[in-house]
């Protein structure tokens, strides 16, 4: 898919990683700036929570729509347009005159950021088609750095520099990535000559796509729920202090990044689906340790194991999908991400309901059951692939 005038692979990879890092910052900045936004526009706690819906709910339809746009018009246009839209939204938020205006701008931010994220993720397999899973695991580390470590800096900037300067700073970062993308030459769109709607419709009933979507559905439920309830479980069920629960929570995300670094090397020697089968067993083990933990130390071991085993799932599954559906990978990625986002929106409230009516530990046991479903679904895909019901792929993926 490479053209003679295409920008060199390391520069394009750096752009994709910068895009994922920037998306990580954008998805996490809201919590860090909520006190300043609330003070500026005078809204209560309930309306604070609604702001997250404004940011995240538009991403579900947008990631689905972004796929065909990427396949038809290419990653460059979608990435640059998405981030320019996001930068404009951030600048608008700095001067939002009302809560309604702020909500509308967050919808705009969600739409733009999500489309750019999809473009960055689908660019990576174009650059490293021989082993996309390895490259996607490396790229995924940058999202984690942006999402986990920069909210603290953003909160500090908001306190020291003020809300307007902070939002302008993030907007400039987002806009810079868009401008860098615009001056580069990306690989051509997979369907630049015209989008194949018949092929796209056939994906809805394609067994491989359905199974991979199931893998990400269960995985997303595990990641979002585990990260969402770690601190509550440690503090309510195991009497951990607030400070220690924060440290353990951060350790979970550090293990996610370390796990992706390790996986980027492992998938050079082991096929991605085989690695994920082992990761699913590790996830069950980690969650079981967590559910049975009598104290914080043992719970920490379970959490660390979960972080390491969760880490490779999303990038490796995406890499596997790109190997088999390279020409229409944007559309496939959009379908997979749609199910993942829906899972992240639906399952955690169910866990919360169990935790409220019984205990957080009971909610963790529910996650063990979801991890078993993840193992079964991954095993079904491995069997499907082993029976050569998929086109032959070259090398580990």
Domain CATH for 220: 1.20.1250.20
Residues 313, 258 share a domain: yes
Residue 33 in any domain: the answer is: yes
Q: How much of the chain exceeds pLDDT 70, in percent? A: 96
In angstroms, the first-to-last Cα distance of the chain is 18
Q: Look up the domain containing 231 and give its range.
A: 199-386
Q: What is the pLDDT of residue 350?
A: 84
Residue 232 has pLDDT above 60, yes or no: yes
Residues 212, 185 share a domain: no
Triad 109, 111, 117: Cα angle to 5°: 95
Residues 246, 184 share a domain: no
Q: What is the pLDDT of residue 394?
A: 43
Please state the domain count of the chain: 2
Indicate the angle between helix axes 75-94 and 99-127, nearest 10 degrees: 150
Residues 47, 161 share a domain: yes
Residue 4 has pLDDT above 80, yes or no: no
Mean pLDDT within 244-271:
93
Mean pLDDT within 46-59:
78
pTM exceeding the 0.85 threshold for the entire prediction = yes
Residue 363 has pLDDT above 70, yes or no: yes
Task: Assign residue 27 a region (left: φ > 0; alpha: ψ between -120 and 50; beta: otherwise).
Answer: alpha
* Poorest-pLDDT segment among 38-52, 116-130, 194-208: 38-52
Q: What is the pLDDT of residue 149?
A: 83
Q: What is the pLDDT of residue 112?
A: 94
Residues 364, 287 share a domain: yes
For every residue of 308-344, DSSP letters joined together read HHHTTHHHHHHHHHHHHSSTTHHHHHHHHHHHHHHHH
Residue 4 in any domain: the answer is: no
Between 6 and 79, the higher pLDDT residue: 79
* Residue where one domain finishes, among candidates 129, 162, 194: 194
Residue 176 has pLDDT above 90, yes or no: yes
| CB distance 75 to 177 below 8 Å | no
Q: What is the pLDDT of residue 338?
A: 93
For every residue of 77-115, DSSP letters joined together read HHHHHHHHHHHHHHHHHHT--SHHHHHHHHHHHHHHHHH
Residue 391 in any domain: the answer is: no
Q: Which of 133, 219, 199, 200 is nearest to 393 (CA)?
A: 133
Residue 397 in any domain: the answer is: no
Q: What is the pLDDT of residue 206?
A: 92
Q: What is the pLDDT of residue 395?
A: 47
Residue 314 has pLDDT above 80, yes or no: yes
What φ, ψ does residue 358 adopt, rounded to 5°? Answer: -125, -85
pLDDT band at 231 (very low <50, low <70, confident <90, very high): confident
What φ, ψ does residue 5 adopt, rounded to 5°? Answer: -95, 5
Q: How far apart are CA 124 and CA 139, in angstroms?
A: 8
pLDDT band at 194 (very low <50, low <70, confident <90, very high): confident
Q: What is the pLDDT of residue 49?
A: 66
Count CB-CB contacts under 10 A for residue 173.
19
* Residue where one domain finishes, among candidates 140, 175, 194: 194
Q: How far apart are CA 169 and CA 110, in angstroms?
A: 18
Q: How far apart are CA 227 and CA 287, in angstroms?
A: 12
* Residue where one domain finishes, among candidates 179, 194, 209: 194
Mean pLDDT within 1-20:
85
């Amino acid at each position: 898919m490479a053209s003679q005038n295409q920008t060199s692979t390391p520069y394009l990879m750096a752009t994709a990683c910068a895009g994922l890092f920037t998306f990580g910052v954008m998805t996490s900045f809201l919590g860090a700036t909520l006190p300043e936004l609330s003070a500026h526009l005078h809204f209560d706690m309930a309306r604070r929570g609604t702001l997250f819906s404004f940011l995240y709910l538009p991403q579900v339809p947008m990631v689905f729509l972004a796929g065909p746009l990427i396949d038809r018009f290419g990653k460059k246009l979608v990435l640059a347009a998405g981030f320019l839209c996001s930068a404009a939204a951030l600048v608008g938020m700095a001067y939002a005159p009302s809560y309604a205006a702020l909500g509308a701008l967050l919808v705009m931010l969600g739409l733009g950021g999500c489309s750019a994220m999809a473009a960055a993720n689908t660019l990576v397999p174009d650059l490293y088609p021989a082993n996309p899973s390895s490259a996607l695991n490396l790229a995924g580390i940058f999202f984690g750095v942006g999402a986990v470590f920069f909210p603290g800096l953003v909160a500090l900037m908001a306190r020291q520099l003020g809300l307007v300067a902070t939002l302008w700073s993030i907007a400039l970062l987002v806009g810079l990535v868009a401008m860098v993308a615009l001056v580069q030459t990306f690989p051509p769109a997979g369907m630049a000559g015209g989008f194949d709607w018949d092929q796209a419709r056939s994906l809805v009933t394609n067994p491989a796509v359905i199974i991979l979507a199931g893998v990400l559905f269960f995985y997303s439920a595990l990641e979002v729920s585990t990260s969402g309830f770690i601190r509550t479980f440690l503090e309510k069920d195991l009497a951990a202090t607030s400070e220690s629960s924060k440290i353990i929570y951060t350790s979970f995300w550090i293990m996610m990044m370390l796990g992706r670094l390790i996986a980027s090397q492992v998938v050079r020697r082991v096929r991605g689906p085989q690695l994920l089968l082992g990761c699913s067993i590790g996830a069950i083990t980690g969650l079981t340790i967590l559910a049975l933990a009598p104290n914080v130390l043992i719970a920490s071991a379970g959490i660390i194991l979960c972080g390491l085993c969760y880490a490779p799932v999303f990038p490796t599954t995406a890499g596997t999908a790109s190997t088999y559906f390279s020409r229409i990978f944007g559309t496939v990625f959009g379908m997979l991400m749609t199910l993942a986002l829906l899972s992240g929106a639906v399952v955690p409230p169910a866990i919360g309901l169990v935790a409220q009516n019984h205990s957080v530990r009971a909610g963790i046991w529910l996650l063990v059951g979801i991890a078993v479903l993840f193992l079964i679904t991954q095993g079904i895909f491995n069997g499907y692939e082993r029976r050569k019901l998929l086109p032959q792929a070259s090398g580990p993926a």
